[in-house]
Amino acid sequence: MGGYQLARGRRLVGLFAAMYFGGLRPAEAIGPVETDLNLPEEGWGWGSALLHRGG
């Protein structure tokens, strides 16, 4: 639903939430892909993210 501008706003909310609540730097926040995330099956709750160290 919505256009490109609305979808971009939703993605930015997720990015800044990860940075704020996870204490991540911008490069760390944009790195994870869906396979790096361990999310609850339903509803809200604790999940985890696997962060990779570049180098």
Asked if residue 16 lies in contact with residue 8, where contact means CB atoms within 8 angstroms, the answer is no
What's the confidence (pLDDT) of residue 28?
Answer: 80
Among residues 47, 26, 44, 23, the alpha carbon closest in space to that of 36 is found at: 47
**What are 1-55's pLDDT values in tens digits?**
556 666 777 778 878 887 898 888 887 877 777 788 888 888 877 778 777 666 5
Amino acid, res. 52: H
What's the confidence (pLDDT) of residue 4?
Answer: 63
